[in-house]
Amino acid sequence: MCGIVCYTGEKNASKVIKKGLEKLEYRGYDSAGIATVGNPSLKVSKGEGTINQVLNKELDGNTGIGHTRWATHGKVNKTNAHPHTCSKEKIAVVHNGIIDNHEELRKELGEERFKSETDTEVIPHLIEEQLKKTDDLEKLCRNVINKLEGSYAAVAVLDTGEKIAFRKGSPLVLGVGEDEYFLTSDVTPFLEHTRKAVFLEEEDYVIIKDDYQIYNSGEKIDREVKQVDWNAEQASKKGYDHYMHKEIEEQTETVKRAAFQDRKDLQKAVKLIEEAEKVYITGCGTSSFAAELGASYLRETGTDVEVEQAHELEYRKDEISEDDLVISMSQSGETADLLSLLNKVDAETLAIVNVVGSTLDRNSRQSLYINAGPEIGVASTKAFTGQLTVLKLLQYALEDKTEEGRKELVQTSEKISETLENSRETVREASKYLSDKEDVYFIGRHRSRFVSKEASLKLKEISYIHSEAFPGGEFKHGTLALVEQGTPVIGILTGKGENDTLSNLVEAKSRGADIIGIGTEEKTGFKHFIEIPEDSNTEILETVVFQLLAYRTALNRDKDINPDRPRNLAKSVTVK
């Protein structure tokens, strides 16, 4: 869950790295650090806190490594912050992932050498030991990799200016510029410098001197240099106070982009589904709710489909045969629980993913890209509606109605800005009302129950209000006992079950609840009612309104809340 930015070139490395780390702070923000090769030695600056709090001075040198941390081993403090160095401070390392056998390696290397509680610190000490045996960096990398167990992306810089990097299970991208090279957790840190990227494969390792060379299992490898379509402006806030707000407003365009899938890719995806004995659709967090909606879409085509969150589906891995298909949902393509499941089954994988070149993308038989561009806010917004768009288009493709579906989805995208604009005042009032509440309940039926889950998740993860979601029919089977005078209950009044959901809301109101509704036709008796346009894809329009409601509620609740970086959460969950 940590972020890595490394640079070799002619510019001041610490300055380039700090700016790059700011674009990765969504991956972790409890501590940060930089190491550069200056004159005459390796220099390290690190500490607890945000990047701007910690990295407030430039270091000499044109080669360096940087890190923003999300703690997995060891307390949040300066000692445990990356980079970590070897005993003689001639090697510095940054790392994302988990070294499973770090305790055994600490004993082997000698506990007296270690300063931190982290698993990462074994890596510089391993490199130090290997340098006593060989000055062949390729051989050194192989020997270190053979010692490490777990999932990791690591970059080491030597006081000679040479840099080595290796990855297994965690993402690492090589940016190739004009006489300069980057190693980063994703492409956003180097987009203003170069759009040429090499997505390193599993167990690749890289040596950077005057040039770079990639190896795998002792063999030189020529990996394709890809042109990244994202640009630096796409990754900026564009004048908004928060990335989350920008990303909510971008959905008019991102839903439209997701609807324009390549016809051949869709046909390949359809063939995989039609030839599968059984289809499983899975994801984690927000993506799991997209999966649940996707399952409902696919069932309408007659597809035999099961849906389960990836970390739970892994316990059923023996049920999944090589004749089945797993449709895998992930924004980052690096979700550890999902990748763990896929590594344990023989079924083909169809990925619905945002990040081209991610581990999920590379390891899947076929990918459909949601084309949302960089999503910086930890709480997923445009990636979720992009996933819904691709899944709905896949339903139409299975019914041989691709163009009809595309047209409808484009029409939906064109209503998003209008829907957000028309609902702003009601959302503003409702968010003020919700901001001092401690409990909120969402209900819906049929597809709306899945939208209510996502709406509830958004509210709780960025405003820290306790929130739960239920099918409307389940609300009166226990949870109604928690309703007191003034308890907010929010209901989705669209699609199948709309009248039954309304009855559930009326019953809650009779017990003292303040009811809030969203639907295509305003109704009386509500504390607040948010009206949206009639549409064949109302779940997308409902979702964008709930995203804005969560965002505004968080800001009203506490001025110190940063919706882009909710406490205890990180964007890419790359450890189980």
Of the listed ranges 44-58, 62-76, 247-261, the least confidently predicted one is 62-76
* Contacts for 206-209: CB closer than 8 Å, 24+ residues apart: 206/163, 206/164, 206/165, 206/166, 206/174, 207/137, 207/138, 207/141, 207/162, 207/163, 207/164, 208/8, 208/162, 208/163, 208/164, 208/165, 208/181, 208/183, 209/161, 209/162, 209/163
The string of pLDDT tens digits covering residues 486-502 is 999 999 999 999 999 99
Check whether 94 has a pLDDT greater than 90.
yes
The rounded percent of the chain whose pLDDT value lies above 90 is 80
Mean pLDDT of 462-486: 92
pLDDT at 41: 87
- According to the model, what pLDDT value does residue 222 have? 95
| Pairing verdict, β 204-208 and 212-216 | antiparallel
102 pLDDT higher than 80: yes
Q: Is the pLDDT of residue 568 over 70?
A: yes
pLDDT computed for residue 356 by the predictor: 76
- pLDDT at position 383 over 70: yes
Residue 261 pLDDT > 80:
yes
Query: pLDDT tens digits, residue range 285-314?
Result: 999 999 999 999 999 999 999 999 999 999
pLDDT value at position 572? 67
pLDDT at 512: 93
Residue 237's pLDDT is what?
Answer: 74
Q: What is the pLDDT of residue 574?
A: 65
Lowest mean pLDDT among 3-17, 133-147, 250-264, 385-399: 250-264
Cα angle 344-345-351, degrees, rounded to a multiple of 5: 105
Smallest Cα–Cα separation from 544: which of 409, 471, 451? 451
Answer whether 217's CB lies under 8 Å from 203's CB: yes
Mean pLDDT of the chain: 93
Instruction: Kindly report, residue by residue over 331-343, the tens digit of the pLDDT.
Output: 989 998 999 999 9
Q: Report the C-alpha gap between 213 and 136 in whole angstroms.
A: 13
* Backbone torsions φ then ψ of 574, nearest 5 degrees: -100, 10
**For the chain, what's the residue count?**
576
Instruction: Give me the pLDDT at residue 505, please.
Output: 95
pLDDT exceeds 90 at position 436: yes
Burial readout 382-396 (b: 16 or more C-beta within 10 A, e: otherwise): bbbbbbbbbbbbbbb
pLDDT at residue 575 in the model: 63
> Which is catalytic among the residues 18, 19, 147, 571?
571
Tens-place pLDDT, residues 188-230: 899 999 999 999 999 999 999 989 999 999 999 999 999 887 7
Q: What is the pLDDT of residue 475?
A: 86
Q: Quick: pLDDT tens for 11-26.
A: 999 999 999 999 887 6
- pLDDT of 374 over the 90 cut: no
Active site residue 571: yes
Encoding tokens for residue 318? 């023996």
3-state SS string over 142-196? HHHHHHCCEEEEEEEEECCCCEEEEEEECCCEEEECCCCEEEECCCHHHCCCCCE
Q: Measured between alpha carbons, how far apart are the two ends of the chain, in Å?
A: 10
Which tokens is 503 given?
């009855």
**Over 80: is that where the pLDDT of 29 sits?**
no
Predicted confidence band of residue 233 (pLDDT cuts 50, 70, 90): low
**Higher-confidence position of 453 and 373:** 453
- Domains of the chain, earliest start first: 3-234 (3.60.20.10), 240-400 (3.40.50.10490), 421-557 (3.40.50.10490)
Banded pLDDT at 232 (limits 50, 70, 90): low
Q: Is 11 a catalytic residue?
A: no
- Which is catalytic among the residues 2, 6, 86, 284? 2
